[in-house]
Structure 1
């Protein structure tokens, strides 16, 4: 049995200004606050003696490695991201950054914002533009229906509203 895993599909390089600011703030916090603190704790643990049996030293090395991996990822990702800071010309259609309201077959309504894959976890009402529902909604107008094949069966949504202003 092989340990090979195919590479993950490339995610879209778009991000909102708020999402980009959050990623930059995380990078700054990791570099200026967390990393120096862990390096100091690692140096203190290393000064205690035998490193091979020093649990604090081993823990801090792993912690530092995790912080350094995240810093490298953020630097690489921020260099390729494209900040979308303007609304599209056709605001009656769904594009990146749109707040959409949909209704499913049972009449339940849902409101969410279509954002980049690097920021969909910032708020519960955000979904990634790479998600199947978001892809199905792109370039649609209010009144259009979208249908997706899901594991549980086919599901249909009616697009009720598209706006580019944040809800109150």
Structure 2
């Protein structure tokens, strides 16, 4: 397990989350508590019964894994307490709001689709970007047809907003869209 932190520490800060994001956190906490933790506690018990714990690699690993599960459960519990679910449907599909899917086209005609989410939900593979990121901040409240210039490591890039949807592009209800 990597100790490198890839996301900002948001554990005690209030934040916004989509309904599906909140559901994913609840499901993860439920799985950790009802499935993973009991299995790992049993593994610790079995490894401890094998004798000398100081040189028992299985025991050491199981204890570390159990501690990691407990840390994640504490984090999820704290986060779920302070998150605000944004489930109100925006008034129109033409303006960018929290939770919107935004289709951008750059000067070369390359198209990218982003979803504006809270910092707890970012997922680069899905194109889910934080509302606090430079791109996210510059997109909020914009409309179809607006152009925006974003400073990127490779220089400035100008995009046009070609579509804004407040429902998933594939027509699903948003679960892991």
The normalised TM-score by structure 1 is: 0.88
- Deviation at residue 66 of structure 1 after TM alignment: 0.7
Gaps of 5+ in 1: 1-7
Query: SS of the counterpart of 1:34?
Result: helix
- Deviation at residue 90 of structure 1 after TM alignment: 4.9
Structure 2 equivalent of residue 94 of structure 1: 96
Structure 2 equivalent of residue 64 of structure 1: 66
Structure 2 equivalent of residue 5 of structure 1: none
Structure 2 equivalent of residue 4 of structure 1: none
- Deviation at residue 12 of structure 1 after TM alignment: 6.6
Specify whether residues 57 and 9 from structure 1 end up closer, same or farther in structure 2 by C-alpha distance, changes over 3 A only: closer
Structure 2 equivalent of residue 107 of structure 1: 109
- Please say if residues 12 and 130 of structure 1, whose CA atoms lie closer than 8 Å, have aligned partners that are also in contact: no
**Larger helix fraction of residues:** 1
The whole-number CA distance in structure 2 between the counterparts of 1:92 and 1:26 is: 34
Query: SS of the counterpart of 1:85?
Result: coil
- Deviation at residue 29 of structure 1 after TM alignment: 0.2
Alpha-carbon deviations, 1:111-138, whole Å to 9, x = none?
2221222222296132222222111111
The whole-number CA distance in structure 1 between the counterparts of 2:118 and 2:9 is: 14
- Deviation at residue 101 of structure 1 after TM alignment: 0.9
Q: Show the 5 A alignment for 1:23-102.
A: 23-102=25-104
CA RMSD for the aligned pairs? 1.8
The whole-number CA distance in structure 2 between the counterparts of 1:128 and 1:55 is: 40
Gaps of 5+ in 2: 1-7, 171-177
The whole-number CA distance in structure 2 between the counterparts of 1:125 and 1:86 is: 22
Moved more, 30-39 or 123-132: 123-132
The normalised TM-score by structure 2 is: 0.84
- The 4+ residue runs of structure 1 with deviation greater than 3 A are 8-12
Structure 2 equivalent of residue 134 of structure 1: 136
Q: Show the 5 A alignment for 1:110-121.
A: 110-121=112-123
